[in-house]
A and B are shown apart, each in its own frame.
Chain A
Amino acid sequence: MPATTGSPFDKRWIRLTATALFILSFLGTSTGILAQSRFHITGKVTQSTGEPLAGATIVEKGTSSNVLAKEDGTFAIDVSNQKSTLVISYTGYAPREIKLNGQRQLDIALQSANSNMDEVVVIGYGTTKRKDLTGSVASVSGKTISAIPVPNIAQAMQGKLPGVSVVSQDGRPDADVEIRVRGGGSISQSNQPLILIDGVPGTLSDIPPDQVKSIDVLKDASSTAIYGARGANGVVLVTTKGAQEGKTRIGYNGYVKFNTPAKYLGELAPYDYLKYVWANAAANGAAYQTPFEQVFGLGANAGKNTGGIESYRGLHTDNEQKLVYNNSTSSNHDLTVTGGTDKTKMLFSVNYTNEQGMKINSYLKRANVSFKLGQKLFDNLTFNLDTRYTDIQDMDDEGTTNGTGSILSTAYRFRPIATNHILGDTNALKTGNIEQYGKNSMWDMYSPAARIADFDPLSISQAIRVIGSLDWKIIKGLVYHTDLTLNRAWGQKQYWSGAIYNNYVDDAGNHLFAGAVDYGKSDSWGSRWSNTLTYDFNIDGNNHLNLLAGQEVSNSGGTSMDIQANHFPSNFDKATAFAQINQYDQVNGTSQFSSSVTVPSRLLSYFGRANYALMDRYLFTATFRADGSSKFSPDHQWGYFPAGAVAWKLSEEPFLRGINWLDNWKLRVSLGEVGNDGISSNLWSQSWTSVTDQRFQYDINRLRQSAYDFSSSTEANLNLKWETTITRDIGTDFSVFKGRLSGTVDVYWNTTKDLLMLTSVPGITGFTATYANIGQTSNKGVEFSLSGTIFQNRDWRITAGGNINFNRSNIDQLAPNVTGLYGADWGGIASYPTSDYILQAGHPVGQVRGFKYAGVYTTADFDYNNGTYTLKKGVPDLGSWITVVHGLGATDRPSGQYAYPGLPKFKDLNGNGIIDQNDVSVIGNMNPKHTGGFSLNASYKDIDFGAYFNWSYGNRIYNANKLATLYGPKESGVYENKLNIMKNSYKIYDVEGGQLVRLTTPDQLDAANAHATLPLSYEEVGAVSTLGIEDGSYLRLNTLNLGYTLPKSFVSRAKISNLRIYGSIYNVFTLTGYSGLDPEVNTDPSHNNAVYPTTGLDFGTYPRPRSYIVGLNLTF
């Protein structure tokens, strides 16, 4: 070991080790080459129906010796030892191992893999066979995952696992994916399950789908309790493909993907746009109206456009949305090389994904290299090395703005009439209030496409992870396993925004300054060491025991620094600005910088598990884990998590053995406790931190003064402890008709107590919130999954599978001082009520509050007298919250009255005559009644076909995007286009004889609004009402695959063992009644940093593409 003072695991040491191992691996391979074969074995591989399985692989276990079955299923192989074991495998079938014991002739029938009872399932710190499971575990194979060409494997899990809800953020190339196992019990804390990649916490988006061998999701405490403090939200175990012994295999998978928009938002067409905005401008005043008329040649300012507004009738829409997002092409390449001997196995894999977003300037590029090595050091000692390097370049991030959304989602607000279609005086664009406020919606220079193109939010990250492990078979059945993981990651934020984006441009288009940069670097480190001892033994023929004891310690942290500067000289470009960040203009510009070191997150754990099988019929599991976490005060650091389960294999009972059609039938019952420590460190003690936000640095004599703030804005709570989830599960697994039909049913009831809630405290303490363990939630549900072979013969094989999940989440109890009110605040102060969500005991999380829409005020609601509309007695008035309504004069309504014909009317729930905060009620539940997925797979000879559906039923969507078009922001909002639903909104202006006319009398208003379905939208406050609550049910044909495997006889001439070409369509169609872009809504689950989840909010969404994929799988 080098005599440096640093960590023993510094770079030099790693380099030395790697070199040594590399040399070792060559030695291992060469020994393999020297191995000899002597015994000749022949045989035939068939399906259970007797049909031959051409192409099945026959391997002598522990060697590289392998052959393929011929067309008639027969094979011949030379083995080294009469007592060798043959492993026979074929995709889609459960592999079998057969001990030769001197046999020279074998007939082997493979069972379809649908009979999954023999499938190996990964559980915490070990594996078991599905038939021996006592807990609730859902699994999906790597093959299914890689069939769906998405960059994030989580998306490919959607609809395939019972009890696991997968919702992707939206269509952005780097979309986050939210995974919920049985609903999730927490409110303030993360409900994301613990994701372990080969046993190490990681991120699903870092793993190329091609490298996944299997994904197992542990759902109940009997399986998750082994992960103690981190297991409450379920555990997703991703196993990547390992090194295989046998001759060297080279696999290549690649595809090209064409992405195309599935839908654009409907916006007002030119004529309707002019009519709407002209009236809106008039309502805001002549200073808005006149330049608008001049630009388009309308009304009194028609100029040379003698036809006025009529000249635009029928003009096609110049849709800015199509410039902002449109077709793109992505590609993906995977290359895997694997091979080895019984002593040394290795795998080398490279992946490159270039996922291009449909939005201009958005992409995700990921390169991934992994190397795995398995080396038998002695007969009883194996060393494994697993390294992965990931490099990601991500250009995407776009924030949302209150009241509007993202630039992308509001592209429809740009004028739908291109400059060359304007018939008036385009010089007027640079006058008056258009020049002041209308640039973003009227000027080409500031169009959404131009602004997006001028913003480069590039994030770059590199990560390396190394796992070294040893397995020592001490005596028969007793195995010691140790593994050490080291990881490091480096991130860079290189955000550049140019002159247009920052408004550094004069009216003539000259760039006064080049732009602004936000430049950050961060790094993180982590280490983990775990040790387990497993003892597996038979006490006697009827009593089998498997014991596990283990210890684990982990430690992680990081540092970051960030520099921001703006107003770079106009001759600078992006590269020079990043390279010379101190050259910003010091007169007009500002800069700030900060650095920080995170508080390390540490975990120290001890755990154990006992599995006891009685007569292979009665299975018992007991698990216990003790976790010490640095996130809590010394008095509350340790948590203890017990769990137990019982399973009864009914099909093994003598009284059921006689039933031929019953292959397997098992009943399971489990009960246990798990924890959730998903909070940041140091919430239990109050310390100080230096202030980086310059607004909170005082200024004396125009000089910023450094400042210290409390390091947390929440009041420290010494008593914080774990959030504990108790899970109860009863399940059954069955398989009938020789594996042709199998399924699982689970009923569960999870209770999360001591919720780690961000809770409000009275402001008189100097704090408004603290974290406390208060309240309780529960999830109850039923999951069904069923899969089977519908038809099978020599050429055909048709299978289907599906799952359906019913989950009812509920807040059982909230502390009395929690009002439960919180806001998505999508409109900032311009939306009402500001607390548009509520938590209530007896109801689930995700309830939206607002008014109940009751149509518009009609002229019949008022007494009309000399221009004034006075509400009739008994008709409720709008409250003062509605504030300013453009277009209404002082005498149009009596003083103190807010209602006017056309304004939205809401239900006056308390009947006091004023529609105000007391009439706000829950108007929508964002939780589905059930969700699920189903698939249909068929193969005919060498052609395979697959269709994957998923659905959600009974949930509501909070369509804030729609609500944001239903009110009338002032200034910059005046000239914006609206969604085309506004064609049918109430009018108080109309065009008569080419002139805009204010409608005042009841007759005029009634005549113009006979078909109005939506209210007048000239008020500055957007009401949250049932107008924005829509049914979010959908059924999506998520993926459609068609593949063709070229005949082996044909490709084998080119030394190719397998060649498949395929075409897929992703996001084929969606059946839904939802009016927004896509009913799968999850763009921002905590919008505007809401304290609790803003479930079901559709705002600022990046549309999902429909993708057409062509690809090939090739194996040498």
Chain B
Amino acid sequence: MRRIINYLIAIALCIGIAQCKKSFLSPSSPSNVDDGFVTSTPSETFKTLSWCYANYRQNCIMGVYRWNDPIGSDAETYPEANSSNNINAELRPELLTIDAVATGFNGLYTTIAHAAKTAALIAEKQAYKNDVAGGKPTDWTQLYGEAITIRAFCYFELVKHFGDVPYGYENQYVTNYSLNSRFDIYDSLLDQLKVVEPLMYTLGQGGITAERFSRPFCDALMGEIALYSGGYQTIRTDVSNLYGKVSFNKKGSEKLGCVYARRSDYLDYYKLAETYFQAAINNEGTAHLVTSDERTYTQNPFQRHFQYFADLQISPESLFQLGNIQGGTPATTSEYAYAFGRPSDGGSANAAPAKTFGALRIIPTVYYGEYQNGDKRRDASVAVTGSNGDGNEKMLTFVPGNKSAGGIATNKWDENRMSPPYTVAQRSSGMDWPVLRMADVILMLAEVKAELGESGDAIALVNQIRERAFGNASHDISGLTGDSLKDAVLEERKLELLGEGTRRWDLILSGELPERAIAIQQEMATMVGDLKTQGYHTFSNGNVISDYIWTKSVNLTNPLTYDTPDSTNPALYPGWRGQYNYSTIQNGPKVVGTTHNVAIQGLFTYIDPNGATAAALQSAGYVKRNWGIDIVKNYTIYQANILSGITSADDPPRYYWPIPSETISDSKGKVTNGYGMPNP
């Protein structure tokens, strides 16, 4: 027995000592993988960037800033009354809570941290170093460039929306940090992108599509960075020596520790922007401006670009569109069509189509007053009707609210135009998020050239866009120079890119935001005055908005409509509306009735409510509905929603978001929120 026990003790001691090995207390799991493993091959490495793109989609672009960019201009606005959703768009950031966009701010830095880590790991790889020495784009140089571009893109978004921010602290445990000058950040980003750009794939090369960052996107991003460095912007005057040696030309007065200004050497940056935008066009690869339309039933190459999104495809015009997928549990954020699309009163699930909030509304003076006749972009861009959610078209109203209330809306994204629409649930259609398209780049290049005095080139670029919009060259512009050319480029951008989140930035960069804000407020006042006193208002192009319109439900063989050759057909005109034929969906949502379309009378001409025309319409089954009168009744809400933060052309526009409290309070006073925004 004693021997057995002795053996036992001996065994016990052996095991005990063996387990004292250092590794016993440092276990690992095959579920956690190390740096070497995730960068072992290009396809493994892309998985780390896959997370970056997805995180950008889920936590950054969905941050509130992306919602306010497209609703805070003189062309676009927000539909609801007294909402906190559009405080930034109103340019009243002092009302924001300090952590209003903490998720977006932190999400961008998280994406930056991941991309930076991946870039650092690739940079150490011998295979990558060999490829760089080879001087030709390979999978490794593309991945490295992609990681650096993701990082730069996120910093660019940060600076755009938060102004000067701490730069370069990712993946560190920091206790000592401060604000960096935005101009230094821009310079640093440009320096890094310059290095990686030549070794990135162009579109179509190496299997790269516009759902990833490519060389032409990188070029365009560099162009934008240069433009945003050189353009007007609101800078801080409350942080001493923030901008170092950069000197400024100021505009308007200094208020709340900030002033509207641009750097004195701005032309150098416009030159850079010109180079890079041109490079984006030169390196476009398989991307191009969509100028033809293969559809037999309609001819609208402008709309064709948006139709690619509804078809769940990549548009050849896109330089980058953020990839998405339909359905899914939990659903990915395919929020764009829900937030900015054609409104629907449908329920959250199993509706025809499901709810579309419609956070983006078009200011009526733009819709009525600014499109020239023959511009195919108007109806494809602006919706006057939405959906009832049961297969029926519904007139929108100007009563503040959301869905079918809140005013005329964007028409560029409409779940009715999917084939078939995703009726299972709201916010899950799977449409990609548009980020940058060729027309935008072409017009930014035009803008830069106009500023640099290269008028002929600028006009040619603008006319490329106009010829697509009108289908012919008869609406081309000519002979413009100086400010009138710059105005023409801006106007073209406004109509071409309406609802795409660019107008606000165009106003800021051009230095004209305060004046234009006051101008739109006055235009609205004039229109409302006329509606109030005479029941209608006539725009210079002959269009009329009236207090009332007359509508009637009618049956069309194909309830989904396109451009119409017949502007007198009230069911087809204006075009690009109607409904998908939901009864064709097997096990689909409930469809009510058979008269799915709305015929509209009096949308562009005045009909006297007490006159014979009105009586005749009513006896023909038309119903008189409130139209402009609802703007009159709710004018105070429209006043609040449309850039109410600007009360004088002298005001510096305050379009920034607050840096969240955590980053401020941990900085020991070195980081503060400026522009009159809250500090903790």
Enumerate chain A interface residues (CB-CB to B < 8 A).
Answer: 285, 287, 378, 381, 435-437, 472, 482, 503, 506-507, 512, 516, 529, 531, 551, 553, 557, 564, 566, 588, 590, 592, 595-602, 604, 628-630, 634, 637, 681-682, 687-691, 693-711, 715, 717, 760-768, 770, 817, 819, 880-881, 883-885, 889-891, 894-896, 898, 917, 971
Contact = CB atoms under 8 A, between A and B. Distances in A.
A720 B34 CA distance: 20
Contacts of A717: 173
Interface stretch (B46-54, B294-302, B443-451): B46-54
A689 B351 CA distance: 38
B72 interface: no
Closest 5 CB pairs of A and B: A766-B113, A763-B106, A436-B347, A895-B636, A707-B50
Contacts of B37: 688
Contacts of A694: 328-330, 332
B165 interface: yes
B51 A707 contact: yes
A285 B52 CA distance: 43
B2 to A, nearest CB: 10
Given A715-B173, A880-B87, 7 more contacts: A531-B12, A688-B38, A717-B173, A761-B662, A763-B109, A768-B106, A895-B640
B173 A763 contact: no
B124 interface: no
A819 B98 CA distance: 13
B23 to A, nearest CB: 10
A472 B34 CA distance: 47
Contacts of B25: 602, 604, 628-630, 634, 637
Interface in B333-362: 333, 345-351
Nearest to A914: B95
A696 B665 contact: no
B58 A764 contact: no
B51 A702 contact: no
Interface in B294-323: 312, 314, 323
A559 to B, nearest CB: 9
B8 to A, nearest CB: 8
B105 interface: yes
Contact of B82 (A604, A688, A883): A883
B663 A766 contact: no
11 contacts: A436-B346, A566-B329, A687-B32, A696-B51, A697-B51, A705-B47, A708-B50, A762-B662, A819-B661, A890-B637, A891-B636
Interface stretch (B14-22, B130-138, B564-572, B612-620): B14-22
Contacts of B87: 880
B321 to A, nearest CB: 11
A630 B27 contact: yes
Given A711-B32, A880-B95, A895 B637 contact: yes
B144 to A, nearest CB: 17
Contacts of B5: 472
Interface residues of B, number: 109
Contacts of B170: 764-766
B327 interface: yes
Interface string B640-680: 10000000000000000000111101110000000000001
Given A687-B34, A708-B48, A819-B665, A764 B165 contact: yes
Nearest to B87: A880
A971 B169 CA distance: 44
B83 A762 contact: no
A381 B1 contact: yes
Contacts of A437: 347-348
Interface string B1-44: 10001001000100110011010111111111111011000001
Nearest to A598: B29
Interface string B381-414: 0000000010000000000110000000000000
B273 interface: no
Given A763-B105, A763-B106, A700 B661 contact: no
Nearest to A835: B99
Given A436-B389, A597-B30, A883 B83 contact: yes
Given A688-B35, A764-B174, A700 B27 contact: no
A533 to B, nearest CB: 11
B394 to A, nearest CB: 10
Nearest to B640: A895
Contacts of A592: 329
A524 to B, nearest CB: 13
Contacts of A701: 209, 211, 314, 323
B333 A702 contact: no
A503 B660 CA distance: 39
Given A702-B325, A895-B636, A760 B109 contact: no
Nearest to A772: B173
Nearest to A531: B12
B32 A689 contact: yes
B112 A688 contact: no
Given A697-B54, A761-B666, A762-B666, A767 B110 contact: yes
Contacts of B349: 503
B177 A762 contact: yes
A898 B44 CA distance: 54
Contacts of B416: none
B365 interface: no
Contact of A699 (B34, B174, B324): B324
A881 B82 CA distance: 9
Interface string B124-156: 000000000000000000000000000000000
A590 B327 contact: yes
Contact of B110 (A482, A588, A766): A766
Given A590-B328, A694-B328, A700-B209, A763 B47 contact: no
Contacts of B345: 287, 436
Contacts of A767: 110, 113
A689 B33 contact: yes
Contacts of B400: 890
A695 B590 contact: no
A641 to B, nearest CB: 17
B590 to A, nearest CB: 5
B273 to A, nearest CB: 27
A698 B46 CA distance: 10
A762 B312 contact: no
Given A507-B590, A764-B165, A564 B329 contact: yes
A698 B54 contact: yes
B639 interface: yes
A735 to B, nearest CB: 43
A604 B590 CA distance: 65
B665 A817 contact: yes
Nearest to A687: B32
B640 A482 contact: no
Contacts of B662: 760-763, 768, 817, 819
B1 A880 contact: no
Contacts of B113: 765-767
Contact of A766 (B28, B85, B112, B326): B112
Contact of A378 (B1, B106, B312): B1
Interface string B154-170: 00000000000110011
Given A507-B590, A880-B95, A883-B83, A704 B325 contact: yes
Given A597-B29, A765-B113, A691 B640 contact: no
A172 B55 CA distance: 37
B587 A506 contact: yes
A887 to B, nearest CB: 12
Contacts of B24: 602, 604, 630
A765 B31 contact: no
B634 interface: yes
Given A763-B106, A763-B660, A764-B109, A688 B636 contact: no
A361 B103 CA distance: 38
Interface string B77-116: 0001111110100000001010000100110011111101
A1000 to B, nearest CB: 16
